[in-house]
């Protein structure tokens, strides 16, 4: 039995904590907030991704396809709401057809069942959609990720693990064959540390003596909801054909587990890592982002699409127009603001986004340095991967 400190009570931290607790390790989860899942995990689209988009053989492709199955099974076993909605990716003009074809090929490479549909066939699933062709992915669904997190906490506590809320990780250093962790409340000695701090993961790594090869750049995603009387416009999930230059999927319409319809998210550079509104500015975070050369390189390459995202952020009308490309009946007056999320996207010095999940080891330490979407879907499989990493640093 080992004593393991896990930093962060998002779904990745809790999934690995529960996995280690189940096998008998003594687990302490540190969470700086006064509740679990207050950042990415509690502010996402709630989608169980099927593994459609990701480079074949990548961790994302492998862990999300398996993760979609395991998270659905976990939700069913623990009485958490999950709905097998299926999803349509829609090409709204002929120029998008090659992109849709590439996606169909990738689905085949990743072993994800997907059928190309005519507009009439697409409307059998989503009567209000507009398209020239669509890809139907039946295995995509939705789940209550915060409900999953609460079940994971129950497992940790049932195995005598501890969740310490309002206790922040401050630093870590090696000591003998273990690690000493300083927190906002004191000192914790452990055999190993697992960093699952999401938006703060590069800082937690640095405060543990590691120089991460990539930095977190925060991208805020704003959401709206369809007013309840218009939620009949969407049955399941409707996505655009993604722009292959970006790691984000484009604004989409998703049914929620409460029966509403979420619209979004867009992607704008956030002025604070945990900044959920335009007016939230953290000078330290802004300086950090701007002093990373990669961000400038990305900005120069993407002036036009970046400006479009900003416009969509400040103008509800432009946001509605993007949604109306998918479902023409959506009007600006159908949208009411919903809470935003911020994605932790790791970026290299040269401006390239780290596409795959990224885990880095140090003596007695395992750091999750990039766990963007679909990490919620893949969380139980990421936990299995991290368990092997923990065993490697304990050996
Ligand atoms: C807008 C948006 C939409 C998304 N949609 C989907 C989707 O539909 N499907 C999907 O699979 N994925 C989706 N994702 C991605 C998914 O939500 C994330 O990949 C996943 O939640 C990451 O979980 P995490 O545990 O790594 O991070 P988080 O949930 O961010 O948790 C990190 C935790 O670490 C804590 N922490 C940070 N620093 C410290 C410290 N110093 N001490 C103690 N605690 C600390 C934080 O408070 C936080 O609780 C989306 C993400 C966003 C932002």
Give the tens place of pLDDT for each residue, 373-386: 999 999 999 999 99
126 CA to centre of ligand 1 in angstroms? 30
Is 159 in a helix, a strand, or coil?
A: coil
Share of the chain above pLDDT 90, in %: 77
Pair of tokens at residue 191: 């055999």
Query: Which residues on neighbouring strands pair with residue 337, listed in sequence order?
Result: 224
11 CA to centre of ligand 1 in angstroms? 7
49 lines ligand 1 (CB under 6 A): yes
Q: Kindly report the protein residue whose alpha carbon is nearest to atom 28 of ligand 1.
A: 10
Nearest atom, ligand 1, residue 45 CA: 8
Instruction: Tell me the mean pLDDT in the region 135-139.
Output: 96
Report the 10 Å Cβ neighbour count for 318. Answer: 16
What confidence tier does 298 reach under pLDDT thresholds 50, 70, 90?
A: low
Q: Kindly report the protein residue whose alpha carbon is nearest to atom 37 of ligand 1.
A: 197
Distance CA 67, CA 177 (A): 33
pLDDT at res. 268: 83
265 lines ligand 1 (CB under 6 A): yes
233 CA to centre of ligand 1 in angstroms? 29
Please give the residue that has the higher pLDDT: either 133 or 287. Answer: 133
341 lines ligand 1 (CB under 6 A): yes
pLDDT at res. 147: 98
pLDDT > 90? residue 266: no
21 lines ligand 1 (CB under 6 A): no
Pocket of ligand 1, candidates 10, 15, 196: which has the most ligand atoms within 8 Å of its Cβ, to mutate?
A: 10
Tell which residue, 368, 36, 376, 41, has the closest CA to residue 193.
Answer: 368
292 CA to centre of ligand 1 in angstroms? 22
335-367 pLDDT, tens per residue? 999 999 999 999 988 888 899 999 999 999 999
In this structure, the strands spanning 214-226 and 26-30 are unpaired
The answer to whether the CB of 150 falls within 8 A of the CB of 11 is no
Q: Kindly report the protein residue whose alpha carbon is nearest to atom 14 of ligand 1.
A: 373
Q: Kindly report the protein residue whose alpha carbon is nearest to atom 26 of ligand 1.
A: 198
375 lines ligand 1 (CB under 6 A): yes
146 lines ligand 1 (CB under 6 A): no
39 CA to centre of ligand 1 in angstroms? 5
Domains of the chain: 3-44+146-213+355-394 (3.50.50.60), 84-141+216-347 (3.30.9.10)
Q: Kindly report the protein residue whose alpha carbon is nearest to atom 41 of ligand 1.
A: 169
Nearest atom, ligand 1, residue 371 CA: 19
What confidence tier does 299 reach under pLDDT thresholds 50, 70, 90?
A: low
279 CA to centre of ligand 1 in angstroms? 21
76-99 pLDDT, tens per residue? 999 999 999 999 999 999 999 999
Residue for token pair 């999953």: 148
8 CA to centre of ligand 1 in angstroms? 9
33 lines ligand 1 (CB under 6 A): yes
pLDDT > 80? residue 244: no
Nearest atom, ligand 1, residue 33 CA: 47
Pocket of ligand 1, candidates 257, 274, 375, 385: which has the most ligand atoms within 8 Å of its Cβ, to mutate?
A: 375
E strand or H helix at 336? strand 335-348
What confidence tier does 313 reach under pLDDT thresholds 50, 70, 90?
A: low
Tell which residue, 366, 346, 343, has the closest CA to residue 5.
Answer: 366
pLDDT at res. 302: 66
Nearest atom, ligand 1, residue 265 CA: 1
Distance CA 292, CA 348 (A): 9
11 lines ligand 1 (CB under 6 A): yes
Report the 10 Å Cβ neighbour count for 290. Answer: 12
Instruction: Tell me the mean pLDDT in the region 198-205.
Output: 97
Sign of the dihedral through C-alpha 6, 358, 380, 31: positive
pLDDT > 70? residue 300: no
154 CA to centre of ligand 1 in angstroms? 19
Tell which residue, 137, 112, 143, has the closest CA to residue 44.
Answer: 143
pLDDT > 80? residue 130: yes
Q: Alpha-carbon Rg of the chain, whole angstroms?
A: 21
Q: What is the mean pLDDT of the chain?
A: 93
Distance CA 50, CA 112 (A): 7
């Amino acid at each position: 039995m080992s004593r393991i400190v896990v930093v962060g009570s998002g779904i990745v931290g809790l999934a690995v904590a529960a996995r280690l607790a189940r096998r008998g390790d003594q687990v302490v989860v540190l969470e700086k907030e006064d509740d679990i899942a207050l950042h990415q995990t509690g502010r996402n689209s709630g989608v169980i991704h099927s593994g459609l988009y990701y480079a074949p053989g990548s961790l994302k492709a492998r862990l999300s396809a398996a993760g979609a199955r395991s998270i659905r099974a976990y939700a069913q076993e623990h009485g958490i709401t999950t709905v097998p909605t299926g999803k349509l990716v829609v090409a709204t003009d002929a120029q998008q057809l090659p992109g849709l074809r590439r996606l169909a090929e990738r689905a085949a490479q990743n072993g994800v069942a997907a059928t190309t549909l005519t507009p009439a066939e697409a409307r059998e699933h989503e009567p209000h959609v507009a398209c020239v062709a669509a890809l139907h992915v039946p295995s995509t669904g939705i789940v209550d990720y915060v409900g999953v997190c609460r079940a994971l906490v129950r497992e940790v506590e049932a195995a005598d693990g501890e969740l310490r809320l309002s206790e922040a990780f401050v630093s870590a250093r090696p000591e003998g064959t273990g690690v000493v962790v300083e927190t906002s409340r004191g000192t914790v000695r452990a055999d190993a540390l697992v960093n699952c701090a999401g938006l703060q993961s590069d800082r937690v790594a640095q405060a543990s003596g590691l120089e991460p090869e990539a930095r977190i750049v925060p991208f805020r995603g704003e959401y709206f909801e369809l007013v309840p009387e218009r939620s009949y416009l969407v049955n399941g999930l409707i996505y655009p054909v993604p722009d292959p230059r970006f790691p984000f999927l484009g604004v989409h319409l998703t049914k929620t587990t409460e029966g509403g319809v979420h619209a979004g998210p867009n992607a704008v550079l956030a002025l604070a890592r945990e900044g959920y509104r335009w007016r939230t500015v953290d000078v330290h975070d802004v300086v950090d982002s701007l002093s990373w050369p990669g961000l400038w390189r990305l900005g120069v390459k993407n002036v036009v699409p970046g400006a479009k995202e900003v416009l969509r952020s400040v103008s509800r009308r432009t946001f509605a127009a993007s949604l109306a490309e998918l479902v023409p009946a959506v009007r600006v007056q159908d949208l009411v603001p919903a809470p935003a999320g911020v994605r932790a996207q790791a970026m290299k010095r040269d401006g390239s986004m780290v596409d795959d999940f990224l885990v880095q080891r140090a003596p007695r330490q395992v750091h999750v340095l990039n766990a963007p979407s679909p990490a919620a879907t893949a969380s139980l499989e990421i936990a299995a991967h991290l368990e092997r990493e923990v065993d490697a640093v304990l050996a």
